Amino acid sequence: MSGRPMPCDKAELSTLFLFEKLDTEQLERLCREGRVEQFDPGPVYTEGEPATCFFVLLHGTVVMSRRVGGDDVEISRSSQRGVYAGAMQAYLSGSGEAQYKGSMRATEPSRFFILPAETFAAVLRDWFPMAVHLLEGLFFGTQNTERTIGQRERLLALGSLSAGLTHELNNPAAAAVRATSALRDRVAGMRHKLGLIAAGPYARAALETLVEIQERTAEQVSKATPLSPLEASDREDALADWFDDHGIAGGWQLAPTFVQAGLDTDWLDQVAAAVDEETLEGAIRWLNYTVETELLMNEIEDSTTRISHLVDAAKQYSQLDRAPYQVVDVHELLDSTLLMLSGKIGSGIKVVKEFDRTLPKIPAYPGELNQVWTNLIDNAVSAMGGEGKLTVCTAHDRDQVRVEFRDTGPGVPAEIQGRIFDPFFTTKPVGEGTGLGLDISWRIVVNKHHGSLQVQSVPGDTRFQVRLPLTVADPDTSEEPS
């Protein structure tokens, strides 16, 4: 959009703080190569358009905004003479294809001094060559620093996640190793007992019945349901009494295993009815090996299934075998991240999930959203100091999905809430935080997903809210978080 041309007055330019130190010749060059235009209320330039001009406000009121999802979010508003915007980085090498990083509109008739981007770059290089070199160094140096520290932060997060995953994997792996070792002993005992039975006074029909009971016993073990401690204790006492009544020594040692397998005195009566009294104890002890073997195989299956779930969660978290941009269920991402961070969260923090499972899948970069979840959960855990409650909520929010992380920590002081998303800003002690976690999260959510990231905080109730659009016309690959 262009305004109405108006005369350029070098005396007026000299009253602006940007130009007050310039000499007459320099002011004449600005008026010669620049222009003054009057804009009616409305857009002056729009985010994403080629950054062709540098604007300086002479009179009026302007509003700066950034696009978040489908909305323009106001960033600042000013009526101060001399405020500037537009192609402010035109002096940088290779900035010829730069785009406006936000939008500017006038809210009343407003007059601007306008310099073409190439003229703005030329006068800066001609008049302030040293300043341009310093600014370039500062700009690119900051970019490199952010990139390096961002990579370091991701490595630290990876190390923390790896430690947590190793801890989580160690428990089921150790259980599987123990169960496998015990299973080997039980199978050896079963072979020995089978040899004794084969050499004993068992009739063929009794052996067939015993094998049938063994099959039914194995099936019963697979269907067993856990009992309460009181119920289990009562059943153990009943089984121990049954063993004593039938002359089976050490029955109190057998009872817990049979109870764990879901067996009771009725089942023992079936065994006693199938064999002779003199062979009952041998049959019971052989069946005990069957029960122990089935229980150990269940333990191995549970442990290896747990390991498989952890590996699946790690793959879901890392997204290594998936497309970077896809339609995803945010709950799968949240579940995998919480599982990966469970070791770091610790037992002192209660995790509550309030998920709306009816939410539709959304188009997203899942690997990068997992990084956002990680940063927000890590901050909440650090704020609570290992004790408290972390609540993770999902919900519909008009045409968006809202994901909220709520912690019971001391809160973010009101005076710094406006700065927590700034690069390098951190409240953690030196060496414990880079100050880029929330900055990276903000850029992933806002710049890459066209969503929003906000904080609401009072002592005991801090909420970080991520809003993501349900639909995105085209994936945005133009701005990668560093």
Query: Of 241, 275, 309, which residue is a domain's last?
Result: 309
Query: Of 105, 127, 149, which residue is a domain's last?
Result: 127
Residue 161 confidence (pLDDT): 58
Residue 170 confidence (pLDDT): 66
- Are 225 and 256 within one domain? yes
Residue 434 confidence (pLDDT): 38
This prediction has a pTM of 0.45
Q: Partners of 393 in the beta sheet?
A: 354, 404
Residue 160 confidence (pLDDT): 57
Collect contacts of 196-202 with beta carbons under 8 A, ≥24 apart.
196/282, 197/279, 197/282, 197/283, 197/286, 200/279, 200/282, 201/276, 201/278, 201/279, 202/275, 202/279
CATH of the domain at 398: 3.30.565.10
Lowest mean pLDDT among 120-134, 216-230, 262-276, 280-294: 120-134
- Are 274 and 337 within one domain? no
Please indicate, yes or no, if residue 122 is contained in any of the structural domains: yes
- Are 344 and 206 within one domain? no
Query: Of 274, 309, 344, which residue is a domain's last?
Result: 309
- Are 412 and 281 within one domain? no
Residue, of 46 and 431, whose pLDDT is higher: 46
Rama region for 187: left / alpha / beta (φ>0; ψ in -120 to 50; rest): alpha
What percentage of the chain carries pLDDT values higher than 70?
Answer: 75
Please indicate, yes or no, if residue 482 is contained in any of the structural domains: no
- Are 203 and 332 within one domain? no
- Are 333 and 296 within one domain? no
Residue 149 confidence (pLDDT): 54
- Are 12 and 115 within one domain? yes
Residue, of 101 and 206, whose pLDDT is higher: 101
For residue 330, pLDDT over 90 is answered with: yes
Range of the domain at 36: 4-127
- Are 278 and 188 within one domain? yes
The average confidence (pLDDT) of the chain is: 78
Cβ atoms of residues 353 and 373 within 8 Å? no
Distance of CA 271 to the CA centre of its chain: 55
- Are 117 and 32 within one domain? yes
For residue 269, pLDDT over 90 is answered with: no
Residue 468 confidence (pLDDT): 93
Residue-wise pLDDT tens digits, 333-342: 898 888 878 7
Residue 431 confidence (pLDDT): 38
Residue-wise pLDDT tens digits, 41-60: 999 998 888 888 999 999 99
For residue 393, pLDDT over 80 is answered with: yes
Task: Mention every residue, 6+ apart, whose C-beta is less than 8 A from residue 450.
Answer: 67, 68, 69, 70, 469, 472, 476
pLDDT band at 432 (very low <50, low <70, confident <90, very high): very low
Distance of CA 440 to the CA centre of its chain: 13
For residue 233, pLDDT over 80 is answered with: yes
- Are 396 and 437 within one domain? yes
Tokens standing for residue 328 = 């995803």
- Are 300 and 333 within one domain? no
pLDDT band at 476 (very low <50, low <70, confident <90, very high): very low
CATH of the domain at 89: 2.60.120.10
Cβ atoms of residues 226 and 249 within 8 Å? no
- Are 281 and 337 within one domain? no
Please indicate, yes or no, if residue 327 is contained in any of the structural domains: yes
pLDDT band at 424 (very low <50, low <70, confident <90, very high): very low
- What is the total count of domains within the chain? 3
Lowest mean pLDDT among 121-125, 211-215, 476-480: 476-480
Residue range 185-211: mean pLDDT, rounded: 70
